[in-house]
Amino acid sequence: MENQKAQSFGLKSLTALYTLILTIVAFIIEISPTWQSDAMHIEYTIFCVLMYSIAIIYFIYLYTVILYPIVINTILLYLERMHILSVHSIKRWVRPEPVFTGEGAGTLYLRLGTLLFGTLGSVLWGSEIFLCFFTNVRHNIYVVKYILAFVFTYLQMHFLCCNSKIDLPKNSFIASFGMMHCIAVNLWVWFSLCLAKAVYKSDKKTLKLQKNEEKWKKKNMTLTDAVTEAVTTTVAYIASSDGEMVSNFSASEKQLRSLYRLGSAANFLLTTLVEFSLIAAAVYFIIWKHEGEENPQEARKKHVRFDCKSTSVGIFAALVLLVGSFVSISMHYIYNNSDKPRAADEVIGIAETVLFCVTLLAVFAAFSRMRKLQYRLHAHGQVVDEILLIVGLAGEIVYCSTGLDLYLNERLGNVPGTTCLIVVAFVFRIIQVVVQSVFILVSSRLRSLSASNVANQPGKQIITFLVVCNINLFIYHTFETIESNFGFPHKMSSIYSALLNISSPLVVFYRFHSSACLAEIWKHAYSTKHNHSHVHNKPLEDHHIA
């Protein structure tokens, strides 16, 4: 027994080390100017293909051998009946049925999120495959790379949705190793997408500044200057063969073509892909960590049940805020189109501050209402939720401190047009985020056990309100990542923009995930079933997804 434990520990350390090395190497390849140079683009793409294909081969192994061994077992039994294999060898090869007792992506909301994010993310890969054949045809290796990326995303989506509760067999080298490889791939995808976005954003900013400068120049020009300018541009326009304005791609470039062709839509798809990788990495980590632990077999739940009592006030109060925030987005858009960028930014700032204040008050109200509920032990399947919540919280803290830092910087530099609103917004935001995280951690352990609580459901309306508000903020922050982040000036040093590019998908993720956690609280805190810990007494059932 001691020996086996040591073996298990050794295996875990080894795979962890592998992931660490692979992740660091991948990160360095992503930022190294040598690997990113045009001369190395084939080698770099081969590296990408290798990363994806190992992960896909692992998934094929996982599905055929561990998750659906029935196919192999049927073949083996057939071979035995045909007297090609002996009974003895069959016994060695027949695989056991899969056991679904792990932690995994347990909550329904998280699984719906992976479906949503994964589907939208796949669209990005799909467009990329199409764009490989557009204007300058790319090297075939690119096609292979993006097809593999698509297949990988799709397989992950299926695994996370349907099979993430799998309990990996103990001391299986391939299972452990593959899981850790997938973590590395997801982290690498996350990092490379953040970098791609940063490059695209700086390109876009340069273009915008150029345009603004031109406009400004035009305004202040004398008539003769303007006429000369106009004549030269027109001549140049006619001289160019067909006046195509869109820059063509070179065959060797490595950046995502869709970012340049689809603009903000691709930016949105990219954000969803980042969220997806993050969730996937966290879930794999949990599966790897709990691998081989023998948990009591629970019946796989197939029925989803919602108790919609006392929710309508919460929903309809939050819908007013939702409409308000959508209107503010449209106001931002209108002001931006009328060349009033300052007013446009202020609208966003005011709307955010209002949202944060209201949500903060709601969290306090929920605290005071939910004191009546009973404290219970840690429930099953919450570890992954808490890890993801903390990751999101870290992102929010980085985001807010960067914002406040930039404000200080502007104040010191006496940049005109710095409003106090930025400080107010960020301070409320950070307070709201911290208080809400504490609230989620505490109240996910609360249950209504007394009869009066079951009847009254204290705080359920406020929880409903908070769920919708967090979804609202999720949409709002998604919009911010696409359009412009409030409180961040258009020109900033590269270190700030790196921090922004890394933290802004996490901010979006924090809102998504806290609405997921609040929905879980909404579902479970008032549930009349409290036998989570007494599940051992239940009859053992095991349904398969057919």
Contact residues: a copy of itself, CB under 8 A: 115, 119-120, 122-123, 126-127, 129-131, 134-135, 154, 157-158, 161-162, 218-219, 221, 223, 226-227, 229-231, 233-235, 237-238, 242-244, 246, 258, 261-262, 265-266, 302-310, 312-313, 315-316, 319-320, 322-324, 326-327, 330-331, 333-334, 337-339, 543, 545-546
| Least distance between a copy of itself and beta carbon 170 (Å) | 27
Of 207, 252, 293, 254, nearest in space to 29 by CA = 254
Q: Which two tokens stand for residue 517?
A: 């956690």
How far apart, in Å, are the Cα atoms of 255 and each of 44, 207, 246, 484, 490?
12, 17, 16, 22, 23
Cα-flanking dihedrals φ and ψ of residue 375, to 5°? -85, 135
Helix (H, G, I), strand (E, B) or coil at 126: helix
Of 475, 533, 529, 514, nearest in space to 366 by CA = 514
User: Which residue, 293 or 541, has its beta carbon nearer to a copy of itself?
Assistant: 541
User: Which residue, 45 or 114, has its beta carbon nearer to a copy of itself?
Assistant: 114
Distance CA 419, CA 487 (A): 9
Q: Which two tokens stand for residue 118?
A: 């994964």
| Least distance between a copy of itself and beta carbon 467 (Å) | 14
| Least distance between a copy of itself and beta carbon 314 (Å) | 11
User: Which residue, 61 or 154, has its beta carbon nearer to a copy of itself?
Assistant: 154
Judge contact between 173 and 11, C-beta under 8 A: yes
Distance CA 453, CA 466 (A): 20
| Least distance between a copy of itself and beta carbon 406 (Å) | 29
User: Which residue, 272 or 437, has its beta carbon nearer to a copy of itself?
Assistant: 272
| Least distance between a copy of itself and beta carbon 414 (Å) | 28
| Least distance between a copy of itself and beta carbon 237 (Å) | 8
Distance CA 78, CA 499 (A): 59
Judge contact between 488 and 406, C-beta under 8 A: yes
Hey, CA dihedral for 443, 449, 450, 452, is it positive or negative? positive
User: Which residue, 227 or 390, has its beta carbon nearer to a copy of itself?
Assistant: 227
| Least distance between a copy of itself and beta carbon 168 (Å) | 21
- DSSP annotation string for 381-424: T-HHHHHHHHHHHHHHHHHHHHHHHHHHHHHHTT-TT--THHHH
| Least distance between a copy of itself and beta carbon 306 (Å) | 4
User: Which residue, 234 or 533, has its beta carbon nearer to a copy of itself?
Assistant: 234
- DSSP annotation string for 46-93: HHHHHHHHHHHHHHHHIIIIII-THHHHHHHHHHHHTTSS-HHHHHHH
| Least distance between a copy of itself and beta carbon 527 (Å) | 11
User: Which residue, 293 or 307, has its beta carbon nearer to a copy of itself?
Assistant: 307
| Least distance between a copy of itself and beta carbon 145 (Å) | 17
Cα-flanking dihedrals φ and ψ of residue 543, to 5°? -90, 145
Helix (H, G, I), strand (E, B) or coil at 363: helix
Hey, CA dihedral for 413, 415, 419, 423, is it positive or negative? negative
User: Which residue, 242 or 294, has its beta carbon nearer to a copy of itself?
Assistant: 242
| Least distance between a copy of itself and beta carbon 369 (Å) | 14
User: Which residue, 471 or 499, has its beta carbon nearer to a copy of itself?
Assistant: 471
User: Which residue, 215 or 538, has its beta carbon nearer to a copy of itself?
Assistant: 215
Amino acid residing at 237: Y
Cα-flanking dihedrals φ and ψ of residue 399, to 5°? -60, -50
User: Which residue, 530 or 536, has its beta carbon nearer to a copy of itself?
Assistant: 530
Q: Work out the angle between the directed axes of helices 421-443 and 341-370 (0-180°, nearest 10).
A: 30
